Amino acid sequence: MQTKILVVDDELSMREFLSILLEREGYSTRLAENAESALQLLESEDFALVISDVNMPGLDGMRLLERIKKLTPETAVLLITAFSTAEQAVEAMKLGAYDYIAKPFKVEEIKVLVRNALEKRTLQKENIRLKQEIQERYSFSGLIGKSKKMREVYTLIEKVSTSNTNVLVLGESGTGKELAAKAIHYNSLRKDKPFVPVNCGAIPENLMESELFGHKKGSFTGAIADRPGLFEQAEGGTLFLDEIGEVPLQLQTKLLRVLQEREFRKVGGTEDKRADVRIVAASNRELEEQVNEGSFREDLFYRVNVVQIRMPSLRERPEDIPLLVEHFHKKYVQSPHEGETITSGALKVLLSYSYPGNVRELENIIERCMVLGDKTISVECLPPRLLEYQQAPVTNEVYAIPGEGINLEAYLDGIEKRFLLLALEKSGGIKKKAAEILGLTFRSFRYRLAKFGMDEE
């Protein structure tokens, strides 16, 4: 599709000259003899660029520029005049003109300006698209689920995003703690500033202070130049401290100072630097237990734990599994797929599993199926451990513990959840009848459903 350019000039000869020149370069042109006609065309058609004379009867080119930037701000504008002044050129640039050129101009000069203006517009549109894509990805679409527990998470994220409050995200590995942190950031007023994640457990203890706060040249062996730390990199944005419970006690004191005073000092530095950074911390361990054990400072805990968001495990929200399967299937399928996403047998297996690795484990399972199988997820492409888990009979028989050990709590939870689902399936979703099938009181049955996040009206 040809790029459309609108030429506005009260002189017929100039309109025709520019039209011939531009069409030889492969552009499509429309012509207007005054600003009023140009505005009518702009309201009905999309133009990538407007080339306009400045001095015209009626509405002049400067006022037309203002109107264009209100009507279609993404349209580039190039102004041409025979009476150029420095003041007018400055005003044009302030109003949003791409450039300002004086008559008479060289043919090559106008060609280059048009090409550059269109390239800049393309880059601007691409940047806008990428920003929108990032914001959509991490608004709430990055977090998949409509269960009661996930809706509670969304509500909390929505509330804390509008403030600068420090947030602590807790949950098992693989539950999406970093996605929650990104959702907080990209829904906040800091969304145009950096989001800087750091896994505190992955940084060697002797390097952690330098990583967080930066260092000055010569402050230690190997410090051959000044280096900014993560707090500087996140300036104005959000610093995500994943596994904050792994920060050594000695460094916790310095981290506490940053949160209290909003300033820090580089390793080897003599001056304090201000830190306009929001902290979102996360841990898969219970920090309160670490406080009681003496491995985590109580005052730091209260600083990061202003608002707490607890990410539910996947076994607490099995009703979200079909949604997640659909999401990951779209992510990993190599080409458009109009057939069945998953067979009923495979879905039954996935619903009955306990997922010690949570959402991350489910994603890996779906990716495996897309690599090993066809576009439909079937029982045949599922990992053997899922089939063994599903087929294990529930009896008083003593089982051998596998070499890698077993998560007994997760295993028993999986069995209990499977029978709850089977009873609901058999009863057609009638909870009272499902409770009778399992020999439970209705109250006990509701309690067990609630334990797994399945008790939704």
- Asked whether residue 125 falls in the same domain as residue 146, the answer is no
**Bigger pLDDT: 82 or 22?**
22
pLDDT band of 141, cuts 50, 70, 90? low
Place of tokens 């609630």: 450
Domain shared by 200 and 261, yes or no:
yes
The answer on pLDDT for 209 being more than 70 is yes
How far apart (Å, rounded) are the C-alpha atoms in residues 356 and 284? Answer: 13
Residues 22 and 113 in one domain: yes
- Single pTM value for the model: 0.58
Which tens digits make up the pLDDT trace of 326-346? 889 988 887 666 678 899 889
Are 19 and 42 part of one and the same domain? yes
Residue 422, domain CATH: 1.10.10.60
- Reported as a pLDDT band with limits 50, 70 and 90, residue 401 is low
228 and 120 share one domain:
no
Q: What is the mean pLDDT of residues 208-222?
A: 80
Q: What is the pLDDT of residues 100-130, one digit of tens each?
A: 888 888 888 889 999 999 988 888 877 777 7
The CATH number of the domain holding residue 178 is: 3.40.50.300
Last residue of a domain, one of 133, 153, 170: 133
For 22-31, 163-172, 434-443, which range has the lowest pLDDT when averaged over its residues? Answer: 434-443
Report the Cα 355 to chain-centroid distance in Å.
24
283 and 427 together in one domain: no
Q: 133, 158, 184 — which closes off a domain?
A: 133
d(CA 204, CA 53): 63
Token pair of 104 as six digits: 């008479």
The pLDDT value recorded for residue 333 is 84
Same domain? For 328 and 360 the reply is yes
In terms of Cα–Cα distance, which of 445, 414, 368, 454 is closest to 150?
454
The tally of domains found in the chain comes to 4
Q: What is the pLDDT of residue 36?
A: 92
CATH code of the domain in which 371 resides: 1.10.8.60
What's the rounded mean pLDDT across residues 127-154? 74
348: exposed, middle or buried (Cβ count in 10 Å: 0-12, 13-18, 19+): middle
**Residue 37, helix vs strand vs coil:** helix
Confidence of residue 236 (pLDDT cuts 50, 70, 90): very high
Q: Round the average pLDDT of the chain to a whole number and report it.
A: 85
Both 245 and 343 in a single domain? no
Domain boundary among 102, 133, 164: 133
Q: Coil, strand or helix: which one is 77? A: strand
Percent of the chain whose pLDDT exceeds 90: 39
Which domain does 347 fall in, by range? 315-391
Residue 5: phi, psi to the nearest 5? Answer: -125, 135
Q: State yes or no: pLDDT of 396 exceeds 50.
A: no
Q: What percent of the chain has pLDDT over 70?
A: 90
10 Å CB burial of residue 297 (0-12, 13-18, 19+) is: middle
Q: Within 13 Å of residue 40, how many CA atoms lie on the same side as its CB?
A: 8
**Do 308 and 319 share a domain, yes or no?**
no
Same domain, 155 and 169: yes
The predicted pLDDT at position 244 comes to: 95
Q: In what order do the strands lie in the sheet with 307-310?
A: 195-199, 238-242, 278-283, 167-170, 307-310
- Lowest average pLDDT, out of 119-133, 164-178, 263-277, 307-321, goes to 119-133
The predicted pLDDT at position 140 comes to: 65
Question: Same domain for 152 and 22?
Answer: no
pLDDT for the residue 367: 93
Residue 457 clears pLDDT 70, i.e. is over it: no
What are the φ/ψ torsions at residue 18 (nearest 5 degrees)?
Answer: -65, -35
Do residues 253 and 206 both lie within one domain? yes
